[in-house]
Amino acid sequence: MATRSDRTGTAVRTPRDPAAPKAPPGDRTGPGAPPRTRTRTRTRQPRLWTWLLLPGTLWMTGFLVASLLLVATLALGTTDPLGNPRFGLNFANLTALADPAYSTVLLRSLGYALITCLISLAIAYPVAYAIALRGGRFKNLLIAAIVVPFFANYLVRMYGWSVVLSDDGPLLRALRAIGLADDSTKILQTGVGVIAGLVYGFVVFMIIPLYAAMERMDTSLIEAGRDLYGGPLRTFLFVTVPATRQGAAAGCVLVFLPAMGDFVSAQLMGGPDQIMIGNLIQDKFFQGQNWPLGSALTMLLMAVLFLGMLGYLRRTRKDEAEAAR
Partner 1 sequence: MSTQPRPSTPRAPSPQQAPSPQEAPSGRKDGSPRQGPRTQRRRRRGAERRPRFAIAVTALFFLLLYLPVGVVVLFSFNAQKSLTVLDGVSMRWYTALLHDDVLLDSLGMSLRVSLVAMAGSLVLGVALALGLVRSRSRLGSFAGLIMLVPLITPEIVTGVAAMLLFKGLGITLSTTTVMLAEITFSISYVTVILRSRIAALNPEVEEAAMDLGATRGQALRLVTLPALLPSILASAVLIFALVFDDFVLAYFTTGVDPQPLSVRIYSAIRFGVQPTINAVGTLMLAGSIGLIVLALAIPRLFGRRGGLDLLSGK
- Environment class of residue 201 by beta-carbon count within 10 Å: exposed (0-12), middle (13-18) or buried (19+)? buried
Q: Which of 1, 80, 100, 151 binds partner 1 (CB under 8 A)?
A: 151
Q: Smallest distance from the beta carbon of 214 to partner 1, in angstroms?
A: 11
CB atoms within 10 A of CB 9: 7
Report which residue type is found at 61. Answer: T
Question: Which residues from 103-132 bind partner 1, rule CB under 8 A?
Answer: 123, 125-127, 129-131
64: contact with partner 1 by CB under 8 A: yes
Q: Which of 15, 39, 63, 83 binds partner 1 (CB under 8 A)?
A: 63
Q: Smallest distance from the beta carbon of 30 to partner 1, in angstroms?
A: 5
14: contact with partner 1 by CB under 8 A: no
Q: Which of 14, 17, 23, 159 binds partner 1 (CB under 8 A)?
A: 159
209: contact with partner 1 by CB under 8 A: yes
In DSSP terms, 86 is beta-bridged to 78
21: contact with partner 1 by CB under 8 A: no
Question: Which residues from 266-285 bind partner 1, rule CB under 8 A?
Answer: 267-268, 278, 281-282, 285
Q: Smallest distance from the beta carbon of 325 to partner 1, in angstroms?
A: 25
296: contact with partner 1 by CB under 8 A: no
Q: Which of 107, 145, 180, 310 binds partner 1 (CB under 8 A)?
A: 145
Q: Decide whether 177 or 325 has the Cβ nearer to partner 1.
A: 177
57: contact with partner 1 by CB under 8 A: yes
177: contact with partner 1 by CB under 8 A: no
Residues 61 and 229: their CA atoms lie apart, in Å, by 57
Q: Smallest distance from the beta carbon of 102 to partner 1, in angstroms?
A: 16
55: contact with partner 1 by CB under 8 A: yes
Q: Decide whether 102 or 285 has the Cβ nearer to partner 1.
A: 285
232: contact with partner 1 by CB under 8 A: yes
Question: Which residues from 72-101 bind partner 1, rule CB under 8 A?
Answer: 74
Q: Which of 140, 237, 307, 318 binds partner 1 (CB under 8 A)?
A: 140
265: contact with partner 1 by CB under 8 A: no
310: contact with partner 1 by CB under 8 A: no
Q: Which of 14, 20, 23, 44 binds partner 1 (CB under 8 A)?
A: 44
C-beta separation of 203 from 124 below 8 A? yes
- Determine how β-strand 85-86 pairs with β-strand 78-79: antiparallel
30: contact with partner 1 by CB under 8 A: yes
